[in-house]
Amino acid sequence: MIEDKELRDIFKLESDEHLQHLNDGLLRLESEPENKAILEEVFREAHSLKGASRMINLTKIENLSHHMEDIIGSSLKGEVSLTPSLFDTLYHALDVIRVLVKEAVDGVSRENVPVSDILELLKSRGETRQPQYGDEKAEDGNIKNENPGEEEHDQIVSCSSSTGDDIFRIESIRVETKKLDDLMTLVGELNVTRSRTVHRLSEMEEALVLWDGLCRKADEVDHELSVRMGDVLNRLKNGIFEDSSKLDLVCGDLEEKIRTTRLLPMNTLFRLFPRMIRDISKERGMEAGLAVTGGETRADKRIIEEMKDPLMHIIRNAIDHGLEEPAEREKKGKPKAGTICLGAFQTGDSVIIEVADDGKGMNIEAIRQTALKMKLDRKEAIEAMNHDEIMNLVFRPGFSTSSFVSDLSGRGVGLDVVRANVDRLKGIVRVESVPGQGTCFRIQLPVTLATIRVMIAAVGDLKYGLPLEYIEQTFMLKRRDLFKIEGRETIRLDGAPVSVVRLFDLLELPLHRSNRAGNRKSASDSIPCVIISSGGHRLGLIMDEMLDEQEVVLKPQSRILKKVRNVSGTTILGTGEICMILAPQDIIRSVRKRDLPVIAENTESETDNKKKTLLAAEDSLTTRTQMKRILEGAGYEVVTAVDGMDAYNKLGTRDFDALITDVIMPNMDGLTLTAKVREDRKYSEMPIILVTSLALDEDRKKGVEAGANAYITKPGFDQKVFLDTLKRLV
């Protein structure tokens, strides 16, 4: 029996599908034995069943599937003809596999399952005698067994027989995610109706109060009518109350069941990485192992799907940048093999995913210097950044502290993908690092994307929702605590300055939206303020009123409104009002972008308009011509050289922004050229990119030792990677 319940359920569902498709395919093949499309389909199904069985060590099923796959594969090649007896053998094999699957899933062992006999038949392509079936047939067409002791054996193998416990049941079904999304949307609408029912109940109670007042003023003639009317209204009120309570219970239960139906264990994703770590480590000459915890933690299907790339990038970076080489680790007293820890756990309505390594950690000063060199922000702003803000610079597009670019890493892509994906999933990513001890990426995501908890705030006469996971604190801000830094309103919070903006101004609402409540409070000493945080940045939002906290069904923006700034979606409140859900990450970015000085933007555009000049050394005419076309097409001016000596001579004729060179060339190879260029202090900062067919790790190391900044292999040449590398280095 398969011990792991999750794997057991998955394998049962998957094997049932494969067996059904195999059965249907064989039936079609009997009438169209030469149909290659059907043969390929049956071949794929047998191959998939074999692979699934191998993963969980079901050897008997694996062997049977493997031999079925061989027969169909041979038929595809024209080596085997699918005869009636061979079809019988394939059907018998399916029957035996069904029994073996039932054993593995139910844990109930069945005696006399003729696995070895069926295997012999499959190996002989159905040419040997059928195992122990007898040659006579009963009047009903079933095989008659001459050996009474093997009656149970025949029942198991025969396609037409059935055992008493073979009750036809469909225990699980596959449902498209979109259908669950639609159901959740309908539940949201039902919740709105429920809220309106509660509102109607309060209106009914108000009507009863008014009726009681009228009854007191009525004369005695109308007394009997008043009592009867009062009874009707009370019954109506009680009925609405009962309906409202029942609706509340059903809505809550329905919403919870649909939400949990979408949840899958994190192991669905985590099991993809052990092989990846093994392959990358081997390629890089590293030693690394993976420790997984919390694989049973459940999260929304979409979250699990969209977190594959972010986790892949983090793990890749951990191996290539975080972990030291085995010899270096031993010198530091660390185990020779590094460890990457991948874990997940749930806290409240959030799932936390952590990826940690026990490597060298991040160099804060190196990150700061790289940010200054790349001009990610004003020099004064970068120098004033605290530890968390500096750490979060690694998520900026194009950021990389690596001085060497390879096909695997150092190209400044990866961690910006992490931030973008996490933001899209309404999550938060943080990075913590201790020099010499390692780095930890912590990603906080909602358990489900179907609903979110928001704080409802009033701005003007409109209502907006702020996701609670981004809210750090709320308080009444005293006007006297506001002061200005560089023209921006600021408050001091926990000893640090925090910028504050009025949400009314940020959303650029028209003046006629001015809130009456805001006008009444204009003379007040205190105003509502919410502190939001994302990516290590904090911002204060001033609004008119903080109204309520609710769990709402988030409706994504339509295509027309998808690019509206600072808004992530909409919802319908219980009152029937439409409420826009704000995107705190976008809000913080919008405010920070306004800080960029115009003069810096002009200077940058002038620099960008100036063409960069490149020197390209390549002895192959075809490759040299193609490279020149690619580079000129990207806006560079290109001077070509036919070998290393020619390139070295041309280097002194004018200024070049970068050198691109092949390695194997006549007269002077690329490594020698690189080393000679680096000997001259004039060219110590000039980027050098090696483009070569040499793809071994030891060749890359020679490139690093010679002084190259990047190493790109021709066998896996990617034009986009090549140009992105140039853009980052030049």
Q: For the segment 111-149, what is each residue's pLDDT rounded down to a tens digit?
A: 778 888 888 888 887 665 444 433 333 333 343 344 333
d(CA 641, CA 535): 46
190 or 680, which is more confident? 680
Looking at the fold, whether 214 and 285 belong to one and the same domain comes out as no
Residue 163 confidence class, pLDDT cut points 50, 70, 90: very low
* Residue 163 belongs to a domain: no
Residue 358 confidence class, pLDDT cut points 50, 70, 90: very high
Count of domains in the chain?
A: 5
pLDDT of 535: 67
Query: Which candidate, 96, 106, 11, places its Cα nearest to that of 51?
Result: 11
Phi, psi (deg, nearest 5) at residue 651: -60, -30
d(CA 27, CA 41): 13
pLDDT of 171: 61
pLDDT of 401: 60
Q: Which residues of 524-539 are buried (b: 16+ CB within 10 A; e: fewer)?
A: eeebbbbbbbbbbbbb
Q: Residue 227 pLDDT > 50, yes or no?
A: yes
Looking at the fold, whether 282 and 426 belong to one and the same domain comes out as yes
How much is the mean pLDDT over the chain? 78
Tell me the pairing of strands 688-692 and 658-661.
parallel
Of 421, 446, 471, which one is at a domain's C-terminal end? 446
Looking at the fold, whether 432 and 567 belong to one and the same domain comes out as no
H/E run at residue 53: helix 36-55
d(CA 693, CA 4): 46
* Residue 164 belongs to a domain: no
* Residue 604 belongs to a domain: no
pLDDT of 170: 56
Looking at the fold, whether 471 and 432 belong to one and the same domain comes out as no
* Residue 169 belongs to a domain: no
H/E run at residue 670: helix 670-679
pLDDT of 630: 86
pLDDT of 596: 34
457 or 525, which is more confident? 457
594 or 93, which is more confident? 93
Residue 325: which residues within 8 A CB-CB, separation 6 or more?
A: 285, 286
Q: Helices 115-123 and 59-76 meet at what angle, rounded to 10?
A: 20
Of 531, 560, 593, which one is at a domain's C-terminal end? 593
d(CA 269, CA 538): 32
515 or 310, which is more confident? 310
Of 212, 234, 261, which one is at a domain's C-terminal end? 261
Looking at the fold, whether 32 and 61 belong to one and the same domain comes out as yes
pLDDT of 600: 30
Residue 592: which residues within 8 A CB-CB, separation 6 or more?
A: 537
Average pLDDT value for residue range 529-535: 85
Query: Letter for the amino acid at 502?
Result: R
Looking at the fold, whether 255 and 284 belong to one and the same domain comes out as no
Q: Residue 67 pLDDT > 70, yes or no?
A: yes
* Residue 168 belongs to a domain: no
260 or 615, which is more confident? 615
* Residue 602 belongs to a domain: no
Q: Which of the residue ranges 526-535, 542-551, 563-572 would you say has the lowest mean pLDDT?
A: 563-572
Looking at the fold, whether 27 and 112 belong to one and the same domain comes out as yes
- CATH code, 434: 3.30.565.10
Average pLDDT value for residue range 535-562: 78
d(CA 491, CA 477): 9
Looking at the fold, whether 218 and 324 belong to one and the same domain comes out as no
Q: What residue numbers bound the domain in which 491 lies?
A: 451-593
- CATH code, 202: 1.20.58
**SS3 at position 562:** coil
For residue 148, how many other CB atoms are within 10 A of its CB? 6
Rounded to the nearest 5 percent, the helix, strand and coil shares of the chain are 50, 20, 30
The radius of gyration of the chain from alpha carbons, rounded to an integer in Å, stands at 35
d(CA 599, CA 608): 14
* Residue 205 belongs to a domain: yes
Looking at the fold, whether 243 and 385 belong to one and the same domain comes out as no
d(CA 642, CA 638): 13
Looking at the fold, whether 441 and 461 belong to one and the same domain comes out as no
Q: Residue 222 pLDDT > 70, yes or no?
A: no
Looking at the fold, whether 496 and 529 belong to one and the same domain comes out as yes
Residue 158: which residues within 8 A CB-CB, separation 6 or more?
A: 95, 142, 143
* Cα dist from 118 to 121, 149, 378, whole Å: 5, 19, 75
**Segments in 300-363 forming alpha helices (H):** 301-306, 308-317, 326-331
Residue 153 confidence class, pLDDT cut points 50, 70, 90: very low
Residue 551 confidence class, pLDDT cut points 50, 70, 90: confident
- Is there a contact between 55 and 6 (Cβ–Cβ < 8 Å)? no
* Token pair listed for 176: 């498209």
Residue 660 confidence class, pLDDT cut points 50, 70, 90: very high
pLDDT of 594: 59
* Residue 37 belongs to a domain: yes
Q: Residue 95 pLDDT > 70, yes or no?
A: yes
**Strands (E) located in 483-636:** 483-485, 488-493, 496-502, 526-534, 537-542, 545-553, 555-556, 567-572, 578-582, 613-617
Model pLDDT for residues 631-656, shown as the tens digit of each residue: 888 889 999 998 889 899 888 888 89
- Model confidence pTM above 0.95: no
pLDDT of 403: 54
- CATH code, 105: 1.20.120.160
Average pLDDT value for residue range 413-440: 83
- CATH code, 698: 3.40.50.2300
Residue 357: which residues within 8 A CB-CB, separation 6 or more?
A: 318, 322, 323, 338, 339, 340, 341, 438, 439, 440
Model pLDDT for residues 326-356, shown as the tens digit of each residue: 999 999 999 999 999 999 999 877 899 999 9
- CATH code, 465: 2.40.50.180
Looking at the fold, whether 147 and 206 belong to one and the same domain comes out as no
Place of tokens 């008043």: 226
Say how many CA atoms lie within 13 Å of 16 toward its Cβ.
Answer: 15
